[in-house]
Structure 1
Amino acid sequence: MTWKNWLIVVLLSLFSCLFNVGAWAASKESPPAGDEEMNINDAVEMIRTIYQAEYKDLLQSELNLTEEESKSFWPAYNRYHSEMYEVNSWLLGLIEQLGILEEQKTTGKQDAVSLIRQSFDMEKKALEIKENNLDTFSGILPPDKLIRFYQMENKANALVRVRLAEAIPLKSLKK
């Protein structure tokens, strides 16, 4: 299976798991037949559309936002989500780069270091976005809801990372 196909399978699997609102647990579901023919960009956009709609419903339900909180929270969340969208796109690009490196006969030191540095930069950017939005969210949400919101964000991100780690094979050691 090519790396693009692996990526599609991983994304479909982890996001189907993420949106099982009642479970919040990782499943081992297989993607529907024919996914190998799906374009990677189409798959990512489909998943993002589903994610945005279903995760917003989950947030509304779990945070039990009042009408007043909702008026301020959703515009702030949409800005935050837009910023995180860029980081998540960066992550997908890194996974694709890893796939390209895997298909090569050898991996150069410069390519390896570059990929790792990019992953560090991506992590820093994600943390920066979360930190920069904390004051905004703390001005909107009462303390308990603020903590719950960041817990939900961390839980969702951890779930995605675990699923990616489970599904993407380790880099092969070529001689």
Structure 2
Amino acid sequence: MLMLRIVLMTLAVAVAMPATAQEKGTSTMEILRQKVQTDKRLLVAANMDLTGPQEKAFWPLYDAYQKDLEQIDKRLARVIAHYADAYNQGAVSNETAKKLLDEALAVEEAEVALKRSYVPQLEQVLPEAKVARYLQLETKIRALVRFELADKIPLVK
């Protein structure tokens, strides 16, 4: 459980933090993202109880899903950054609040659509119970990340 919390807190920071510092062509953000991906992969592996053939078929799907999820995370990070900019300027206008809300909801919808799009592929390589387990793990991880973000992001003024 401690490892899960560490992974999730790191992931929350990775999603919310803009990539700015550069070190030898690799940003600090990129290093953090790679660390989170490795830790998350270990967490999923430890909880999936995959057989050899299942592992061979699952991990390429997992990698593809994570790549697609990364695009959603980038959208979420942009929404958070836009909100931070608006919030730091004082009271957020109704127009800005509406735009941010619409984009935040679109991000959530995109995440659900992504899950739905991967279910048939996962069902081809895993029994339904393991598909459900994997999506539960993803959902739990994402819920904890969202909780960490919600805890750090102030309410609209």
Give the TM-score taking structure 1 as reference length: 0.73
Give the whole-Å Cα distance in 1 for the aligned partners of 2:141 and 2:95.
Answer: 33
Q: Distance in 2 between matches of 1:71 and 1:120?
A: 35
Correspondence for 2:62 among 77, 83, 94: 77
CA displacement at 1:130 relative to structure 2 = 0.4
Which one-letter code corresponds to 1:110 in the other structure?
Answer: E
TM-score by length of 2: 0.81
- Structure 2 residues not aligned, in runs of 5+: 10-16, 20-26
The 3-state SS of whatever aligns with 1:107 is coil
Aligned alpha-carbon RMSD (Å)? 2.0
SS at match of 2:71: helix
Give the counterpart letter for 1:57 in structure 2. L
Instruction: Give the one of 130, 133, 156 matched to 1:145.
Output: 130
Q: What does 1:70-149 align with in structure 2 at a 5 Å threshold?
A: 70-149=55-134
Equivalent position to 1:157, from 126, 133, 142: 142
1:40 counterpart = 2:25: no
The amino acid across from 1:102 in the alignment is Y
Q: Matches of 2:44 and 2:90 in 1, distance apart? A: 45
Alignment match, 1:9:
none
What is the one-letter code of the residue matched to 1:168?
Answer: I
Deviation at 1:40, TM superposition (A): 3.0
Q: Which residue matches 1:60?
A: 45
Cα contact 2:18–2:77 (8 A) shared by 1: no
Q: Tell me: CA distance 1:162–1:43, structure 2 relative to 1, closer, same or farther (3 Å).
A: farther
Amino acid at match of 2:34: T
CA distance in 2, matches of 1:136, 1:70: 14
- AA paired with 1:54? D
* Over 3 Å off, 4+ runs: none
Report the counterpart of residue 24 of structure 2 in structure 1: none
Q: How much does 1:106 deviate?
A: 4.1
- Does structure 1 retain, via aligned residues, the 8 Å contact 2:79–2:104? yes
Q: Which amino acid aligns with 2:128?
A: P
Work out the number of aligned pairs and report it: 141
**Structure 1: where are the runs of 5+ without partners?**
1-17, 30-38
Identity %: 25
Cα distance change on mapping 1:50 and 1:118 into 2, 3 Å: same
Write the distance in 1 (CA, Å) between the matches of 2:80 and 2:66: 21
Distance 1:43 1:159, change over 3 A: farther
Q: Which has the higher helix share?
A: 2
The SS at the match of 1:153 is helix
